[in-house]
Amino acid sequence: MMSKVTEVVEELVTPILTENGLELVDIEYAKEGRDWFLRVFIDKDNGIDIEECGIVSERLSEKLDEMDPIPHNYFLEVSSPGAERPLKKEKDYHKAIGKNVFVKTYEPIDGEKAFEGTLTKFDGQVVTIDVKVKTRTKTVEIPLEKVASARLAVTFS
């Protein structure tokens, strides 16, 4: 059910985003407590503003009302992914090269399942991160299929 909803929403929102020069970052459909939330995260190169979120929300809401793909009440939220945006698609990884990232894996790599460091390379198959371990830097190569989740990470120096 959940993946079906996100697929339908992706089909509905994509033309709206294309028309407005925006990109889809992620769609989340989740139950929190007794309420259902449909969250659509959008962005563009120099960031988005509240008006753009409003336009997308309004247009998407109309399309969802027409199609009615969700059988119960839910809250629709359209927003920016924020500073710690998820890395989902190949282009997200390519854009993140040189930036600080946080990656969790399905299974341990060198005894670890969580890595934070600078994304130095992505070849479509392997994510390469330079991780600082005390005073030295260790290069970790993570096969893409072992990545459970990845996102940009904000660092405070």
- For the chain, what is the domain count? 2
pLDDT > 90: percent of the chain: 72
Q: Do 44 and 104 have their domain in common?
A: no
Q: Do 74 and 9 have their domain in common?
A: yes
Q: For 57-101, what is each residue's pLDDT tens digit?
A: 999 999 999 998 888 899 999 998 887 888 988 989 999 999 999
Structure tokens at 150: 């990845």
Angle, helix 2-19 to helix 50-67, in steps of 10 degrees = 130
Q: Do 55 and 106 have their domain in common?
A: no
Q: What's the chain's Rg over C-alpha atoms?
A: 18
Residue ranges of alpha helices (H) inside 27-134 are 50-67, 90-95
Q: Do 99 and 33 have their domain in common?
A: no
Computed from CA positions of residues 90, 94, 95, 96, in that sequence, does the dihedral angle turn out positive or negative? positive
157 located within any domain = no
Question: Band of the pLDDT at 2, cuts 50, 70, 90?
Answer: low
Q: What CATH number is associated with residue 74?
A: 3.30.300.70
Q: What CATH number is associated with residue 94?
A: 2.30.30.180
